[in-house]
């Protein structure tokens, strides 16, 4: 199913779009959230990691364009829904997948969904990447998607992760850094089965095998490469009492 978010400040517009999707594409869409503002949509996108977002443009406080500025490198497609024709050019400048005028024409909606599904079909490169991911999963290696590359990294070479808003900065052995466009909570969940990483601060997820010394007085962890990272007061008791 296509994980989908609907974002519009008008409830009747959301309900109409939901009805059209369910009527014309039964059992094809998993509508995981319906949001009335950009501020509601941000955490919903981070939580559900949708494939597709239907996004109104003109909303109180923050426009749909402002939402996309918060996610400049995104893993979801956006279809703008608006009553104003003059928004088409800026919509496509924001790399929108499509642009639908309200009231939404069911035929135009169907065309959009058909094109979206065509784009989602895996090509040979994507199939190869999926195959690689399947093979490396049992060898303690992870694939990390940066803006331009897919980096294959041994978990043991990751020193720590640092939160940077909606991004996460990976610090690796040898001083290498990678900036990825997902929040740190995404990687905490992804790496939890490895039992290597400890959330010692809301901004840091660290590889416990790289710990050298915990300075209880200053509240930081010294790593074996010399880096110092902060430890939250809430996590300090876990460190002084041992790991579980």
**What pLDDT, on a 0 to 100 scale, did the predictor assign at position 118?**
86
Give me the pLDDT at residue 244, please: 43
Q: Is the pLDDT of residue 242 over 60?
A: no
Specify the pLDDT at position 233.
Answer: 76
* Average pLDDT estimate for 39-51: 94
At 122, is the pLDDT very low, low, confident or very high (cuts 50, 70, 90)?
low
pLDDT, residue 170, reads 97
Q: What is the rounded average pLDDT for all residues in the chain?
A: 87
CB atoms within 10 A of CB 195: 9
Summarised one tens digit per residue, pLDDT across range 123-136 is 666 766 776 776 66
- Does position 150 have pLDDT exceeding 80, yes or no? yes
126 vs 35, more confident: 35
76-81: average pLDDT: 92
Q: Which residue has the tokens 């043991």?
A: 156
In the chain, where do the E strands start and end? 2-7, 29-35, 52-56, 77-82, 98-101, 141-145, 150-154, 158-164, 167-172, 177-180, 197-201, 204-207, 211-215, 220-223, 228-230
- Is residue 22 over pLDDT 70? yes
Asked if residue 178 lies in contact with residue 146, where contact means CB atoms within 8 angstroms, the answer is: yes
Are 180 and 225 contacting, i.e. CB atoms less than 8 angstroms apart?
Answer: no
- Of 45, 43, 41, nearest to 57 by C-alpha is 41
37 C-beta neighbours (distance < 10 Å), count: 16
Looking at per-residue pLDDT, the higher value among 186 and 120 belongs to 186
As a whole number, mean pLDDT of residues 115-123 equals 82
Q: Percent helix, strand, coil in the chain (nearest 5)?
A: 40, 30, 25
pLDDT digits (tens, 9 = 90+) for 170-213: 999 999 999 999 999 999 998 888 889 999 999 999 999 999 99
In terms of average pLDDT, the best of 29-33, 114-118, 230-234 is: 29-33
The pLDDT of residue 123 is 66
Q: What is the pLDDT of residues 228-240, one digit of tens each?
A: 999 987 766 666 6
Edge to edge, the sheet with strand 220-223 lists 211-215, 220-223, 228-230
The fraction of the chain above a pLDDT of 90, given in percent, is 56
* Confidence (pLDDT) at 45: 95
């Amino acid at each position: 199913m296509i994980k989908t978010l609907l974002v519009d400040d008008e409830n009747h517009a959301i309900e109409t779009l939901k009805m059209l999707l369910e009527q014309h594409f039964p059992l094809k869409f998993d509508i995981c959230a319906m949001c009335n503002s950009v501020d509601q949509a941000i955490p919903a996108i981070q939580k559900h990691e949708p494939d597709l977002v239907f996004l109104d443009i003109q909303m109180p406080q923050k426009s749909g364009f402002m939402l996309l500025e918060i996610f400049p490198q995104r893993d979801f497609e956006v279809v703008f829904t608006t009553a104003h024709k003059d928004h088409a050019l800026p919509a496509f400048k924001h790399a929108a997948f499509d642009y639908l005028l309200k009231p939404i024409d069911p035929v135009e909606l169907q065309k959009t969904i058909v094109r979206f599904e065509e784009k989602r079909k895996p090509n040979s490169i994507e199939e190869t990447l999926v195959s690689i991911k399947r093979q490396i999963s049992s060898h303690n290696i992870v694939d990390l998607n940066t803006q331009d590359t897919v980096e294959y990294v041994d978990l043991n070479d990751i020193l720590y992760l640092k939160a940077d808003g909606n991004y996460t900065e990976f610090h690796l052995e040898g001083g290498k850094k990678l900036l990825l466009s997902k929040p740190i909570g995404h990687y905490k969940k992804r790496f939890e089965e490895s039992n290597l990483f400890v959330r010692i601060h809301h901004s840091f997820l660290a590889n416990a095998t790289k710990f050298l010394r915990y300075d209880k007085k200053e509240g930081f962890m010294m790593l074996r490469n010399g880096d110092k990272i902060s430890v939250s007061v809430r996590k300090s008791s876990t460190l002084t009492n041992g790991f579980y």
